[in-house]
């Protein structure tokens, strides 16, 4: 299993909306960055993903699971980009803020810090467990 982080502005798609989709899940559409798209191509069924509220919130708020691997994104009229579908697994007990992540030197190499505009990124397994620990 691999671990990831996906960003969404809560005004566009919130954690609450994701949870409301239930086991059916929802397609993570609208990604138009090639690096982020390539990361989604690497995602496999069962991979776990931090759901991160970007914008003003800037915090990990939940965990989703990939429930459908890379497939066409119907919002891309040119057909160049795809998406994965994800379903909510659990709400993070205590949201983990970007500040908390930046303040932990063990996480200094995360793409979340180094490539702040990237919307989909891998999370190394050790960093995944560190962030989970911060959520308790």
pLDDT band at 60 (very low <50, low <70, confident <90, very high): very high
- Residues 63-90, mean pLDDT to the nearest whole number: 97
- Residues 19-34, mean pLDDT to the nearest whole number: 96
What was the pLDDT predicted at 42? Answer: 98
For 6-24, the pLDDT digits (tens) are 999 999 999 999 999 999 9
For the chain, the residue count is 136
- Residues 50-79, mean pLDDT to the nearest whole number: 97
pLDDT band at 29 (very low <50, low <70, confident <90, very high): very high
pLDDT band at 85 (very low <50, low <70, confident <90, very high): very high
What was the pLDDT predicted at 10? Answer: 96
Per the CB < 8 A criterion, the answer to whether 86 and 66 are in contact is: yes
Give me the residue label for tokens 């919307």: 119
Instruction: Give the dihedral sign, CA 95/51/16/93.
Output: negative
For the chain, give the mean pLDDT: 97
* Cα angle for residues 105, 106, 107 (degrees, 5° grid): 90
What was the pLDDT predicted at 79? Answer: 94
What was the pLDDT predicted at 123? Answer: 98
pTM, two decimal places: 0.96
3-134 classified as CATH 3.10.590.10: yes
């Amino acid at each position: 299993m691999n671990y990831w982080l996906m960003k969404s502005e809560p005004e566009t798609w919130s954690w609450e909306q994701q949870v409301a989709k239930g086991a059916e899940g929802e397609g993570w559409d609208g990604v138009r960055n090639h690096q982020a798209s390539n990361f989604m191509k690497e995602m496999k069924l069962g991979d776990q993903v931090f759901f991160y509220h970007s914008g003003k919130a800037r915090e990990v708020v939940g965990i989703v699971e990939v429930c459908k691997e890379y497939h066409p994104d119907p919002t891309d009229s040119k057909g160049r980009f795809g998406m994965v579908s994800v379903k909510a697994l659990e709400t993070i007990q205590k949201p983990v803020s970007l500040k908390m992540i930046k303040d932990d030197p063990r996480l200094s190499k995360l793409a979340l810090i180094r490539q702040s505009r990237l919307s989909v990124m891998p999370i190394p397994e050790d960093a995944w467990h560190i962030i989970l620990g911060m959520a308790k």
